[in-house]
Structure 1
Amino acid sequence: MPTTIDFAQVEHVLLAAAHAAAERTLPLFRTPLAIDNKLDAGFDPVTEADRGAESAIRAVIAEAFPDHAIIGEEWGTTGEGRYSWIIDPVDGTRAFISGAPVWGTLIGFAVDGIAVAGLMSQPFVGEDFLASPGRSTYRRGASMQANRTSGQTDLAAARVFTTTPNLFRGEHWGKWEAIEAATRLQRFGMDCYGYALLAAGHADLVIEPALNTYDIAALVPIIREAGGAIACWDGSEPTGGGNVVAAASRELLDKALELIGSVR
């Protein structure tokens, strides 16, 4: 780990940036607001909340670390180098525009392409899931406690989350069917909140295909520092996105990866 990075400062910037984002998102949550569609075919919504929150986050990061790269869902990539900040200002925009408080602001910090610190902030509920090397913590108001996964190792007893099974339609459908059949309980519609709940011990698996780096980078250290494991379906590093599965233990991850890989 580079000795030039002060991770206390990184944590401070993560929290300050999330606070700045909340000042843009909360006034618009559960209000009638204009919704734009990024796609010509299909539906990928974006709102003033997404754009404004990312601008606010970028301003905080740029002031503290002007020489670091920033990768954001709404405004693209600026800068380059070993250190990068990866932003999804409103992960779960569909939830946001539906009034469901399972969206979150994701901010990750990566060194040489590997996320080592990150924050998932849900400002309406008032929860922050924060990680840096050596710790993953849950914060709500004045209370703070360590995140710790359930440690589950048994696939048959696992609670599994995904945003929607429709993500697996087509070539991945058999993989979802195998995971569904092998696990005890399945819950949907969680977006980033599902990964945070896994880190806190309330879920055992999260599986989703076709993630972008800004969908997952912030969550990688939150899960790993809580004792969990996370990888792409081929076992590779997930910070850059891809088909991802997160688990409450390395043993459970290995079992899930073996099952996923067995379905062609």
Structure 2
Amino acid sequence: MPSHADDLSVALRLADAADEITRARFRAADLVVDRKPDRTPVTDADTAVEDAMRSVLAHERPADAILGEERGGTLGAGRTWIVDPIDGTKNFLRGGPAWATLIALVDEGLPVVGVVSAPAFGRRWWACAGGGAFGTFLEEAPRRLRVSGVASLEDAYLSTTDVNAWTQYHSRERYLALAEACWETRAFGDYWQHCLVAEGAIDIAAEPIANAWDLAAVQIVVTEAGGEFTDLSGKPGFDHGTALATNGRLHQAALAILNG
């Protein structure tokens, strides 16, 4: 497997540039908020971050394609950078700290680099294909991430973003059945729940609706931490519109309930 260490360095620099912008605009009194055609919000910080990352990539990786939530693009067969300037925009615009910039490099359809930067939490997670997953908190030294060893659903911690979304996009009944089979449930939501799976703080994260830019970066963080990442039917990948991230041991049991 080729090394992507240089690409990871680029991704970390992109995250630094993004953090500088998002910190300055977080809780800003003059934050500009618009609504996209799908009714999701977008702020001036979202577009500024994506534009800044695209500028860096145009210089650092001019031959690579880019797919971004705000400026578009396509997922090609070769190398494509997938960026979500602010995952959790609803939290960002209301002053909640649970948001992050997501950066992934996909090569031949597989994520090979992923960075998740959540500056309001003082957290960052990253992974490189074959190199493991790592995370930091504030100024601590990076530590290698490993998923939990929980082997039974009755001992498992489950999270989703919005229970109501299951009614529209999959099955509220199936999700509630999984919740009832688990020990505890929360709604950490968005990127955060997948990163918590990677670091072993929770065991299952499930999403009935998601985009490629929501999932590419967290997929490699989860899998490099020893977990499993598929869509809700069990198909591996980040671009199928749904997601199930687990510690691996619980994956088939969760799939069986969600598709029962």
TM-score (norm 1): 0.92
| Counterpart check, 1:88 vs 2:87 | no
In 2, the alpha carbon distance for the partners of 1:92 and 1:148 equals 24
For residue 150 of structure 1, what is the aligned residue in structure 2?
148
For residue 46 of structure 1, what is the aligned residue in structure 2?
42
For residue 122 of structure 1, what is the aligned residue in structure 2?
118
Secondary structure at the aligned position of 1:77 is classed as: coil
In 2, the alpha carbon distance for the partners of 1:99 and 1:190 equals 16
Shift of 1:122: 0.5
For residue 14 of structure 1, what is the aligned residue in structure 2?
11
Relative distance call for 1:241 and 1:126 in structure 2 (3 A) is: farther
For residue 245 of structure 1, what is the aligned residue in structure 2?
244
Secondary structure at the aligned position of 2:196 is classed as: helix
Aligned residues: CA RMSD = 1.6
Secondary structure at the aligned position of 1:99 is classed as: coil
For residue 196 of structure 2, what is the aligned residue in structure 1?
197
Contact 2:77 2:109 in 1 (8 A): no
Relative distance call for 1:163 and 1:79 in structure 2 (3 A) is: closer
Q: Which amino acid aligns with 2:118?
A: Q
In 2, the alpha carbon distance for the partners of 1:147 and 1:190 equals 19
For residue 185 of structure 1, what is the aligned residue in structure 2?
184
For residue 220 of structure 1, what is the aligned residue in structure 2?
219
In 2, the alpha carbon distance for the partners of 1:58 and 1:196 equals 25
Shift of 1:151: 2.3
Shift of 1:159: 0.6
For residue 23 of structure 2, what is the aligned residue in structure 1?
26
Relative distance call for 1:80 and 1:62 in structure 2 (3 A) is: farther
Instruction: From 50, 67, 70, give the equivalent of 2:66.
Output: 70
Fraction of identical pairs, as percent: 34
Deviates more, 1:218-227 or 1:168-177: 168-177
For residue 107 of structure 1, what is the aligned residue in structure 2?
103
Q: Which runs of 4+ in 1 moved over 4 A?
A: 78-81
TM-score (norm 2): 0.93
Shift of 1:80: 4.2
In 2, the alpha carbon distance for the partners of 1:121 and 1:21 equals 9
In 2, the alpha carbon distance for the partners of 1:247 and 1:259 equals 14
For structure 2, which runs of at least 5 residues remain unmatched after alignment? none
Shift of 1:104: 0.6
Relative distance call for 1:60 and 1:142 in structure 2 (3 A) is: farther
In 2, the alpha carbon distance for the partners of 1:230 and 1:197 equals 13
In 1, the alpha carbon distance for the partners of 2:183 and 2:256 equals 18
Relative distance call for 1:183 and 1:13 in structure 2 (3 A) is: same
Secondary structure at the aligned position of 1:211 is classed as: coil
